[in-house]
Amino acid sequence: MQKHHYVARESALSHFFFSNTKSAWIWLVIRLYVGWEWLVAGWNKVGAPAWTGDQAGAAVTGFVRGALEKTGGAHPDVQGWYASFLEQIVLPNASAWAHAVAWGEVFVGIGLIIGAFVGVAAFFGLFMNLNYLLAGTVSTNPILFTLSIGLILAWKVAGYLGADRFILPRISTMALGAPPREDGARNDG
């Protein structure tokens, strides 16, 4: 009896979007849009008293209370388990969460705009979008969430027209134990 080995082959379209540096221009536009949205949102929070100033936590407290109001009815916008998290973890630590959200948004925005650790930055942006959605806030969150999935999947090329073009080859060679090449190319063959 002959064994058949299945070899998964990547489609040409998938290869183009997620592995080919020619798609980097598409990801640059998406990266800049998503990054700008995060940077502006975070920057406005970092300078606001209710987020990082003398009233830090007031904005988070208001946001959480609004989310908790959406827990009733047959089809609540906010699920009970998430409401418990908001009540027991976020509310008692509203000031710390306010700082984490404000600065997290800024750092995600900067990472995406300069193209540094794009996959990681997009993941943390997606995670924040997910939490906003779980709290019953739609706004631009579904759009940013969806674009972030693309950036995460395209992490190898999404930052090619950015800092990742220089960072990723160095990380790759460090992981392999080889010194980085002067031209920034990978040493793994």
What span, in angstroms and rounded, lies between the C-alpha atoms of 82 and 79? 5
State yes or no: pLDDT of 60 exceeds 50.
yes
pLDDT band at 71 (very low <50, low <70, confident <90, very high): very high
Number of domains comprising the chain: 1
Residue 146 falls inside a structural domain: yes
* Angle in degrees, 0-180, between the axes of helices 118-134 and 141-153, rounded to the nearest 10: 150
Residue 149 falls inside a structural domain: yes
Q: Which of 30, 12, 34 is nearest to 160 (CA)?
A: 30
What global pTM score does this model have? 0.86
Residue 181 falls inside a structural domain: no
Q: What is the pLDDT of residues 8-50, one digit of tens each?
A: 788 899 989 999 999 999 999 999 999 999 999 999 999 999 9
Q: Which structural domain range is residue 95 located in?
A: 31-169
List all residues 6 or more positions away from 130 whose beta carbon is below 8 Å from its beta carbon.
Answer: 145
Residue 9 falls inside a structural domain: no
Q: What is the pLDDT of residues 109-167, one digit of tens each?
A: 999 999 999 999 999 999 999 999 999 999 999 999 999 999 999 999 999 999 999 99
Residue 12 falls inside a structural domain: no
φ, ψ (nearest 5 deg) of residue 79 = -75, 155
Residue 51 falls inside a structural domain: yes
Residue 13 falls inside a structural domain: no
pLDDT at 186: 47
Residue 74 falls inside a structural domain: yes
pLDDT at 189: 41
Q: Identity (one letter) of the amino acid at 56?
A: A
Q: Are 133 and 70 in contact (CB under 8 A)?
A: no
